[in-house]
Structure 1
């Protein structure tokens, strides 16, 4: 059993009076988390070897009772994961899910506490994008709920409708609400799977998440050619932004974050091989002459372990992720300037290259299944969202074929 528990001091969280919280430190498949036992003590009165308060501690009438209380909590925790082990369930739980079982979290416990626990777990596994999304919903709900704690049991159909009215009253969009509601739903689903709440507490059985069609994100082939033919000085930042857009288009609409993390070692036998960060789907794309021409500017005199593009400058992954987010903001700002230079009326963003690739693939009669595979989608329905609106001129051409008899 790759699970253990120990009573210890949390020396990372010293209190103002200099004492440290006493915690259960839970380790499960090399991941650790802590369970606060509601007591704190100065380090000099703690016996770490025997996991107990020293007899010299004078802050209580009975040190033995305190130690018995701590031991009971540890034994209760051990009984819980032994029971899970015997039922062959232990190995299928994350450390956070196991913690939830031990602290006996129930349906009226804090939505925020559970959500922030997920945020911590996601950050530890370097899934910063999802962590930021989960953190954002806690901030929004705190504002809506006047800063008060929010229990799972309080989030019912009426609560969701009130949140919806509040959201729209602030001038926000339908799709913005949809993003929040999907996140709340995802957190509920995780809580149910973790055994934190029962299925009866699920509030989305009757509440339907609304969406509206998003603005057209694809541009036509003539606009893509205009970007390709745009003359820019190599010292101009727009030179790189133009190249990023075209390289993304040529790499099956690769996302900016995936492109930023590409290294020279990802180029193998004239192919670019990498895993998409969002879905872990592997890609193996041939380097075409057009793509090779663009890449040649970036791969000169670089080692195999170097990043191809001048986006990431720091060492740790969390800082690298921040480098990418900051660079993407500048990139999107630069794309607006490129749109003006190329007389493109549509709003140009980092997502447009991806949507444009999908649309052009469809117009070239590439089968939907192939487009879906190239975009890295797990479901055809996701691909259909990208392709939900054919350009008007295409419909006009189809109509002409039908009436010109």
Structure 2
């Protein structure tokens, strides 16, 4: 192995109190760098032969404890190097990359600290929704753990079981809500494994299974869609926009509200709506039908190319625009509840209903499942199937009759 680690006194950097930093000297393929330990001593108190602080040093109460701490830091660094060597990764790292892996390993013993730093990185990448999700779940974990820190090695199978019991014991909490939290915890933990913060052998989800209950189907009948279309609101009516958003989502292959909110005039090109989904980054290219055009005409008149099409986002910064979208979605769902009452729709009407209804009605029209999946932007057919109601018996009967004719 062409990699070495040793404790050393960095005599190039003298401090104001005449002490020198104690470092871990890292050598890798004939290049060297240093890793700070956070401790320093005067040169006369450093034993360069034994690579430790001399007993005569009076700067701490217990010199032996200090030397043990230094050896512990050296041991942790060596563990990272050994793991990289075992996995066949060591020879393909520069000395800087190797140092980064060693420093990160020691820095992020705390699952909370690591998760919050990942949330900060997501904000820098302008993925504000996922960042808020990380922060929210970490706050819930902290409440469960009575505001105490959680180390990576403490977040084990037993911890997950206790958190599950804590969550489900609260009135109103659901199994699917727990599943959402667990998926976030799992995502953060997987990032930690990928970055070498924790070993895969410690993975708590090897034994813990995330369970979900079948979700309530959210599609409504075509007759109800027609009733919503027939609502003749004036432009000043408080439900005017909400009706339009619902119908436009249904007509544009179930476009999510967040994507609708961020649509600009320049997304309309040659009679088509071209945009990139916020959640999946998938590119969409949707034909503007006469029905879609009828709704859009009201919103695009006298606007510039960079203007938002719909009056949902009010502020300039992207982070504040996401907050505007959240607030807009909340009001939209309240408006849909009133629209359901007007149309005598018994099912709960939400922003998701237009998307689920589009998928279900497409299935009734015998559009192939892979095509519906592509329209919705799903990467897996199983995700699309969650959106769809069970096929009615008359459709199953017709399929059976076709097979009996073979």
TM range (shorter): 0.7 to 0.9
Matched residue of 1:204: which SS?
helix
- Report the Cα distance in structure 1 between the residues aligned to 2:376 and 2:303, rounded to whole angstroms: 29
- Report the Cα distance in structure 2 between the residues aligned to 1:401 and 1:198, rounded to whole angstroms: 51
- The corresponding residue for 1:130 is 130
- The corresponding residue for 1:149 is 149
- Report the Cα distance in structure 2 between the residues aligned to 1:293 and 1:262, rounded to whole angstroms: 17
1:173 aligns with 2:131: no
Q: 1:130-154 CA distances to partner (integer Å, 9 max, x unpaired)? A: 1111111111111111110011111
- The corresponding residue for 1:249 is 250
Once the 2 structures are TM-superposed, how far is the Cα of residue 64 of structure 1 from its aligned partner? 4.2
- The corresponding residue for 2:68 is none
1:283 aligns with 2:284: yes
- The corresponding residue for 1:21 is none
- The corresponding residue for 1:187 is 188
Matches within 5 A, 1:267-278: 267-278=268-279
- The corresponding residue for 1:375 is 376
Aligned CA distance change for structure 1 residues 77 and 382 (closer, same or farther; 3 Å): farther
Matches within 5 A, 1:35-54: none
- Report the Cα distance in structure 2 between the residues aligned to 1:317 and 1:98, rounded to whole angstroms: 35
Aligned CA distance change for structure 1 residues 100 and 215 (closer, same or farther; 3 Å): farther
Matched residue of 2:312: which SS?
coil
- Report the Cα distance in structure 2 between the residues aligned to 1:72 and 1:402, rounded to whole angstroms: 74
Q: 1:309-364 CA distances to partner (integer Å, 9 max, x unpaired)? A: 00111111001111111111000110000000011011111111111111111111
- Report the Cα distance in structure 2 between the residues aligned to 1:99 and 1:137, rounded to whole angstroms: 27
Once the 2 structures are TM-superposed, how far is the Cα of residue 200 of structure 1 from its aligned partner? 0.8
Aligned CA distance change for structure 1 residues 402 and 375 (closer, same or farther; 3 Å): closer
Q: 1:169-214 CA distances to partner (integer Å, 9 max, x unpaired)? A: 1021010111011111111111100100000110111111110011
| Structure possessing the higher radius of gyration over alpha carbons | 2
Over aligned residue pairs, what C-alpha RMSD do you find?
3.0
- Report the Cα distance in structure 1 between the residues aligned to 2:123 and 2:194, rounded to whole angstroms: 20
- Report the Cα distance in structure 2 between the residues aligned to 1:271 and 1:169, rounded to whole angstroms: 50
- The corresponding residue for 2:44 is none
- With normalisation by structure 2, the TM-score equals 0.76
Aligned CA distance change for structure 1 residues 181 and 284 (closer, same or farther; 3 Å): same
- Report the Cα distance in structure 2 between the residues aligned to 1:379 and 1:256, rounded to whole angstroms: 21
Aligned CA distance change for structure 1 residues 271 and 98 (closer, same or farther; 3 Å): farther
Once the 2 structures are TM-superposed, how far is the Cα of residue 384 of structure 1 from its aligned partner? 1.4
Aligned CA distance change for structure 1 residues 237 and 69 (closer, same or farther; 3 Å): farther
Once the 2 structures are TM-superposed, how far is the Cα of residue 122 of structure 1 from its aligned partner? 0.3
- Report the Cα distance in structure 2 between the residues aligned to 1:105 and 1:116, rounded to whole angstroms: 16
The answer for unaligned runs of 5 or more in structure 2 is 1-11, 27-31, 37-76
- Report the Cα distance in structure 1 between the residues aligned to 2:196 and 2:231, rounded to whole angstroms: 57
1:341 aligns with 2:342: yes
Once the 2 structures are TM-superposed, how far is the Cα of residue 380 of structure 1 from its aligned partner? 1.2
1:140 aligns with 2:140: yes
Name the count of aligned residue pairs.
335
Once the 2 structures are TM-superposed, how far is the Cα of residue 69 of structure 1 from its aligned partner? 4.9
- Report the Cα distance in structure 2 between the residues aligned to 1:236 and 1:367, rounded to whole angstroms: 39
Aligned CA distance change for structure 1 residues 53 and 125 (closer, same or farther; 3 Å): farther
- Report the Cα distance in structure 2 between the residues aligned to 1:356 and 1:105, rounded to whole angstroms: 50
Q: Is the Cα–Cα contact under 8 Å of residues 35 and 99 in structure 2 kept in the other structure?
A: no
Aligned CA distance change for structure 1 residues 217 and 99 (closer, same or farther; 3 Å): farther
Aligned CA distance change for structure 1 residues 148 and 301 (closer, same or farther; 3 Å): same
Once the 2 structures are TM-superposed, how far is the Cα of residue 77 of structure 1 from its aligned partner? 5.1
Aligned CA distance change for structure 1 residues 340 and 300 (closer, same or farther; 3 Å): same
The answer for unaligned runs of 5 or more in structure 1 is 1-50, 56-61
- With normalisation by structure 1, the TM-score equals 0.76
Matched residue of 2:259: which SS?
helix
- Report the Cα distance in structure 2 between the residues aligned to 1:235 and 1:100, rounded to whole angstroms: 59
- The corresponding residue for 1:318 is 319
